[in-house]
Amino acid sequence: MKINIKGIIVPSQFDTEFFNEEINKGIIAPLSHVQAQIDNASKDEPLEVYINSPGGSVFAGHEMLNAIVNWRTQNNQQVTVTVGAMAASAASTIATMLGPVKAHANAMFMFHGASSVAMGGKEAFLDQSDLLEKINRQVITTLISKYNMDIETVGEWFSEGRMGWLDANEAKEVGLVSEVIDNDANVIEFASKEIEQLGQRGLNVAAMLEIDTKKGVKTMELQDVMLMLQLDPETAQAEDVQEALDALVEKNATSCDEAYDEGFNAGKSEKLTAEKSEISEKFNAELSQVKEELENVKQEKTKTDNELRNVKKELEKAEQRISKLDKGFNLGEDADEATSKDAYWNIVNSLIEEGYSQSQAILKTNKENPELFQALTKGA
């Protein structure tokens, strides 16, 4: 069963009757149109995905990828991917995640940093920048870990305004392409029965040449096999190929796994380093915010303590005045003259301490405490 991803990858809202002509001509590839092809695919046979696209919407492309992976998992069927003239941007991401893929000899792959449009204040642009960085990191990590590509080269592809182009042969060198399709080239066939007869060595050869031992015959270009085995295509014989394959298996029985693990761990380390940096930045930002809040609490506490001390001072003054006033107000009619005079002048002095002038304090005391004033002037 074959499905097509042809044209610009766009969201599902473009899958309308108005755009039918563009869809049928392979100008645009709406998400729901591709999803419908996947849903209608036979569950009893392998799925072939044909890609010829300049890219488009990142998230529509991701959802196409997810749908293909889910179909493969649910139906336990093989998925093969063939790239036509181009797999660029979001389309190259689909090919990369599903690869290795087959590609026509004139196919081109293009990788670059994601781009977007944002509206709002400066914080909105920072959020958008963070999203683009996360999108780029997914593809960069896959290229480094799965295909063991040079991190500096990949980093340049995803720098601002740059693009990384690979032709079919260059993509094959890094492992993204397993087979370059050339109808005029001679091919060599490996039958599953013959591979199984070689035992474990045959399985190792099948793994290196990506031969499915359960699906019958696998074809591979003879010239590419010769070059891979470092043989001269002009002079090599069939027995030379067999000997070279045996030697390659014996020499590299474990090196393929080790190389893959090394590349995977390098990519994993890069991803963990980036995630650790992101977590560290977030933690430091939250820590700074907590410190700032704590400093504000300390300042508020200092302010409250000062206000409390002032209140205590005012309270002490009030208590002193009350004490002095009590001496005057608690005088009985039989209080002696000396006691009355002391009470009178205690009140006057208390008012002076509060800020009244002497004359103001005397007038206020006379007005509010006439009995003391009378007792004071009684003997005058």
Q: How far apart are the first and last CA of the chain?
A: 128
Which sign, positive or negative, has the C-alpha torsion 315, 321, 327, 331? negative
Residue 67 has pLDDT above 80, yes or no: yes
Residues spanned by CATH 3.90.226.10 within the chain? 1-182
Give the list of residues 6+ apart from residue 176 with CB closer than 8 angstroms, or none: 95, 96, 99, 100, 101, 109, 147, 166
Compute the distance between CA of residue 225 and CA of residue 216 in angstroms, rounded to an integer: 19
Residue whose tokens read 């642009």: 125
Compute the distance between CA of residue 299 and CA of residue 305 in angstroms, rounded to an integer: 10
pLDDT score recorded for residue 92 = 95
Q: Are residues 193 and 211 in contact, defined by beta-carbon separation less than 8 angstroms?
A: no
Strands (E), the chain: 2-6, 8-10, 28-30, 47-53, 79-88, 101-104, 108-112, 163-167, 177-181, 187-190, 218-221
**Percentage of the chain with pLDDT > 90?**
37
One-letter identity of residue 139? V
Tokens of 339: 């006691």
pLDDT score recorded for residue 291 = 83
DSSP string, 284-331: HHHHHHHHHHHHHHHHHHHHHHHHHHHHHHHHHHHHHHHHHHHHHHT-
Per-residue pLDDT band for 111 (boundaries 50, 70, 90) equals: very high
Q: Are residues 341 and 327 in contact, defined by beta-carbon separation less than 8 angstroms?
A: no
pLDDT score recorded for residue 200 = 47
- Decide: helix, strand or coil at residue 139: helix
Residue 185 has pLDDT above 50, yes or no: no
Q: Are residues 180 and 105 in contact, defined by beta-carbon separation less than 8 angstroms?
A: yes
User: Average of pLDDT values for 140-156?
Assistant: 90
Backbone angles phi, psi at 76, to 5 degrees: 50, 45
Tokens of 264: 């995977």
Backbone angles phi, psi at 115, to 5 degrees: -130, 160
Residue 227 has pLDDT above 60, yes or no: yes
Asked which of 4-8, 212-216, 234-238, 305-309 is least confident by mean pLDDT, the reply is 212-216
Per-residue pLDDT band for 316 (boundaries 50, 70, 90) equals: confident
Q: Judge if pTM exceeds 0.75.
A: no
pLDDT in tens, 228-286: 667 776 676 667 767 776 676 565 544 445 544 555 566 556 666 777 777 878 878 88
User: Average of pLDDT values for 35-63?
Assistant: 95
pLDDT score recorded for residue 363 = 87
Residue 6 has pLDDT above 50, yes or no: yes
**Percentage of the chain with pLDDT > 70?**
71
Residue 372 has pLDDT above 60, yes or no: yes
- Decide: helix, strand or coil at residue 30: strand
Residue 367 has pLDDT above 80, yes or no: yes
pLDDT score recorded for residue 337 = 57
Cβ–Cβ contacts within 10 Å for residue 325, how many? Answer: 16
Q: What is the CA radius of gyration of the chain?
A: 44
Q: Are residues 369 and 328 in contact, defined by beta-carbon separation less than 8 angstroms?
A: yes
Compute the distance between CA of residue 301 and CA of residue 82 in angstroms, rounded to an integer: 70
pLDDT in tens, 322-341: 665 555 445 444 445 566 77
Kindly report the CATH class assigned to 1-182.
Answer: alpha beta
Residue 4 has pLDDT above 90, yes or no: yes
Nearest to 64 by CA among 101, 17, 31: 31
